[in-house]
Amino acid sequence: MKERVLKLATEILGRDLNFHEANLINTVVNKILSEKWRKYHDLEHHIIPMLEKISSNRVKFKDVAEAYLFAALYHDAVYCPRKKDNEEKSE
């Protein structure tokens, strides 16, 4: 799945990822979004479909593609199913 995320990221940006972008994506994929307790808030069911939607509309977003890419990847980074303030922390 990480390969799919990296491929979508290059499609969204319309170029190869630089070292820092690839490192940020690898970090979020390996350390945050792959946590076993993330049922719906995971790569397969949530993040990849969002990235596919952004990629399919990338012409509309080309001036802000990087912002859309990283917003999609990190928007649930603070999500914890045992907490009641997830929405507040994600703002």
| Residue 44: how many other CB atoms lie within 10 Å | 11
Residues 6+ positions from 91 with CB-CB distance below 8 Å: none
> 10-19, 22-31, 54-63, 78-87 — which is least confidently predicted?
78-87
pLDDT tens digits, one per residue of 69-91: 999 988 777 666 676 665 565 55
Q: pTM for this one?
A: 0.78
